[in-house]
Structure 1
Amino acid sequence: MKLLLLAIAPVFIIILYIYLKDKYEKEPKRLLLYTFLLGAIVSIIISTILYVFSSYILPLPDNYSVWQQFIKAFFVVALIEEFSKYVIVRYFAQTRDAFNEPFDGIVYAVMVSMGFAAVENIMYVTTGGVNVALVRAFTAVPAHATFAILMGYFMGKAKFSNNRIKLNLIGLSLAILFHGAYDFFLFINFVPGIWIGAFVSLIIGIILSHRAIKKHQDRSHFKI
């Protein structure tokens, strides 16, 4: 029970933080719950299927080179996981009447991502223990939130734009870019000190996420 609480605590802290940042019109709690559960169930299922499929079309050897780690980080892990979240935001949340202001893109993207992160974190923490829980609480879980905010920022703009497809894909691409960069520096840990790049990319993502939140708060109720 202790490990379970440690695994889910950072997820719900982030959810509460984003919920409170939605200053003008709170989203229906039931819809938020559904979005979270879709992230926890459907996105995980989609990711699992795509991982199995990718292992057949893009098999990688046991000893990865730097280039192969790059492919794995950006075109396997980041692409699959962010696409699985994007699908839920695009075809479930973005079509709802409650999605009626730009900030809602951030809210729903974070809910999906935190659903995904909750399941992933439980799997890692229950096998890795308290130390893994503490490390991931300040790294992997905030990273998932950061990717979601960057994607949700553009998907929030897309809802009220004539360039919906373009803006949606920009959001997806940005999430893949930051997710891929974060993972890549961790994957090539055989290069001494290179892991610092993961934290640099995370810090940059957090700074951009803070700006994205502020911009959508300022533009709330404006169709952009």
Structure 2
Amino acid sequence: MPFKTILVVISFLFGLLIIRRLRQYDVHEQEPFGKMLAVTVWGGLLSIVLSLFLYRVLQEAGISIRAGVPFSYFYVGFIEELAKLSALFLSWMFIRNELNEPTDGPIYIACVALGFSLIENYFYAVATPATSLLVVIRLIICTPMHMAFSMFMGLAFFWAMRCKGGWGILLCAYIFAGVYHSLYNIFVSYWFLLPGVYLILTSAYRWMHRLLGYTAAQSPFRQSLAEFIHTAPRPEIEEGFECLDCGNRAPKPTYTHGRIRVQKCEDCGAYLCTKASLCQMVHQYGSLFGSLHKHIKRLSKHRKHLCVLEAGNRIDKKKRIACFQLDEFNSVLETMTRRHIEQTEKKWWFPFKCER
């Protein structure tokens, strides 16, 4: 198998992993995988056809990319982002009944971007006669970048279609995506500008995580951790975690939701879970995405095996078990969510204010 074909396959698999990860961010009401796949195929094909048409129109007008002239690449981002946004509008027939929370807009435009990038990567690999490190870098990081650039347009699309307004915001989101995409195209095309790719990559993923956290916090399907526990059906009695407060190892009532598994110690009233479940609860009920490593802090110098994730909980790193009091930890998560909304809406680049 030719090396460039392998790179295209790697890019495809990388894109699927990102879609899977994005679906995990859709923590309150996950989109059907079949609909996501349909939008990936349909939206990808449409966006490629639309971008080729727009390129042809500009070429007839005497505007084209010129080798060695970096800023002749600048209009490329605007064409491709317009094509992706148009393809999302033309995918409305598939998603109109699914577009019921703010996270859905970013999720579905990421699917369009995945389909677009996979087709673009294939033709780029075929059209490039030689394989260089620059080609390798472009093929591997192109797919996640296409997704990240379009996120704001996805939320603006949801705002325009469901909140009955916001077309000016959609235009601003398109300009933002076009500028970022164009800068990426310029930076990735020349060795001496490659450090700029790192800056774009890190900043794009930073605001992507913030955006996904904001949309999760504003979901009409969101419930608090306390609501999840109190409204859960009769819990099953399962093999118990060791309680960090009283040492109880007996079977315990177990509350399960997706990847979250929480047990209640009936002796002392504490709630127990694995460290992984605790992190998932911070994602789902605290609306904090991305790596949580920097939020985990040692509890004290004398008890190095104990730490906390934000506050309201304790983690035994050796046993990988977390312990918390429901009301205290629920209050921490609700405060995290409100703080995330407030801090995001204060950003100069953030024009949205979706009401739950």
User: TM tier, shorter chain?
Assistant: 0.7 to 0.9
Query: What are the equivalent positions in structure 2 for 1:130-209 lying under 5 Å apart?
Result: 135-136=137-138, 138-187=140-189, 189=190, 193-209=192-208
CA RMSD between the two structures: 2.7
- Maintained 8 Å contact 1:117/1:141: yes
Q: Render the CA deviation track for 1:134-167: whole Å, top value 9, x for unaligned.
A: 5246521221111122321322333333423122
Deviation at 1:56, TM superposition (A): 1.6
Query: What are the equivalent positions in structure 2 for 1:80-119 lying under 5 Å apart?
Result: 80-93=79-92, 96-119=96-119
Q: Which amino acid aligns with 1:99?
A: L
CA gap 1:63/1:146 in 2 versus in 1, 3 angstroms: closer
More strand by share: 2
- Maintained 8 Å contact 1:102/1:160: no
> Which residue does the alignment assign to 1:57?
61
More helix by share: 1
Q: Render the CA deviation track for 1:162-200: whole Å, top value 9, x for unaligned.
A: 42312222222221121011112234x3xx733322321
- Maintained 8 Å contact 2:11/2:141: no
> Which residue does the alignment assign to 1:221?
220
Q: Which amino acid aligns with 2:110?
A: V
Is 1:30 equivalent to 2:34 in the alignment? yes
- Maintained 8 Å contact 1:102/1:159: no
Q: Render the CA deviation track for 1:2-33: whole Å, top value 9, x for unaligned.
A: 72532311110111111111111122333212
CA distance in 2, matches of 1:46, 1:61: 18
Q: Name which of structure 1's ranges 130-139 and 158-167 shifts more when overlaid on structure 2.
A: 130-139
Deviation at 1:125, TM superposition (A): 4.3
Q: Name which of structure 1's ranges 92-101 and 202-211 shifts more when overlaid on structure 2.
A: 92-101
Secondary structure of the structure 2 residue equivalent to 1:221: coil
- Maintained 8 Å contact 1:7/1:125: no
Structure with larger RCO (C-alpha < 8 A, sep 6+): 1
Secondary structure of the structure 1 residue equivalent to 2:193: coil
Q: Render the CA deviation track for 1:100-147: whole Å, top value 9, x for unaligned.
A: 111000111100000001112233346666967852465212211111
Unaligned runs of 5+ in 1: none
Q: Which amino acid aligns with 1:178?
A: Y
TM-score, normalised on structure 1? Answer: 0.83
> Which residue does the alignment assign to 1:18?
22
Q: Name which of structure 1's ranges 105-114 and 147-156 shifts more when overlaid on structure 2.
A: 147-156
CA gap 1:61/1:93 in 2 versus in 1, 3 angstroms: closer
- Maintained 8 Å contact 1:182/1:201: yes
- Maintained 8 Å contact 2:101/2:219: yes
Q: Name which of structure 1's ranges 118-127 and 168-177 shifts more when overlaid on structure 2.
A: 118-127
Q: Name which of structure 1's ranges 102-111 and 31-40 shifts more when overlaid on structure 2.
A: 31-40
- Maintained 8 Å contact 2:44/2:119: yes
- Maintained 8 Å contact 1:147/1:179: yes
Deviation at 1:36, TM superposition (A): 0.5
